[in-house]
């Protein structure tokens, strides 16, 4: 929770894989909770945050995009 807005985070490493079934399960959970699922992956010594629903990069400094 940040600035009164909530979101769920799923962390993945280079070796772990997000299958279709797990993705569908997470998107269903997000719909029930009314908040987005953010996928966190490590890329070149940085953590890349992606909105799982639309695949767009997520900027934690710009929370206006969260309903």
Say if residue 5's pLDDT is above 80: no
The rounded percent of the chain whose pLDDT value lies above 70 is 84
pLDDT (average), residues 37-43: 86
Q: Which residue has the tokens 């400094």?
A: 61
Residue 8 DSSP SS3: strand
What's the pLDDT at 67?
Answer: 55
- CATH code, domain carrying 41: 3.40.1350.10
Residue 58 in any domain: the answer is: yes
Q: How far apart are CA 62 and CA 49, in angstroms?
A: 12
Among the listed ranges 15-19, 33-37, 38-42, which one has the minimum average pLDDT value? Answer: 15-19
Residue 52 in any domain: the answer is: yes
Q: How far apart are CA 47 and CA 43, in angstroms?
A: 6
Residue 1 in any domain: the answer is: no
End-to-end CA distance of the chain: 13
Say if residue 34's pLDDT is above 60: yes
């Amino acid at each position: 929770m940040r600035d009164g807005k909530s979101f769920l985070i799923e962390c993945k490493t280079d070796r772990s894989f997000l299958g279709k079934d797990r993705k569908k399960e997470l998107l269903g959970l997000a719909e029930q909770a009314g908040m987005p699922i953010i996928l966190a992956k490590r890329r070149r010594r940085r953590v890349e945050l992606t909105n799982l629903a639309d695949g767009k990069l997520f900027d934690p400094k710009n929370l206006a995009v969260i309903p």
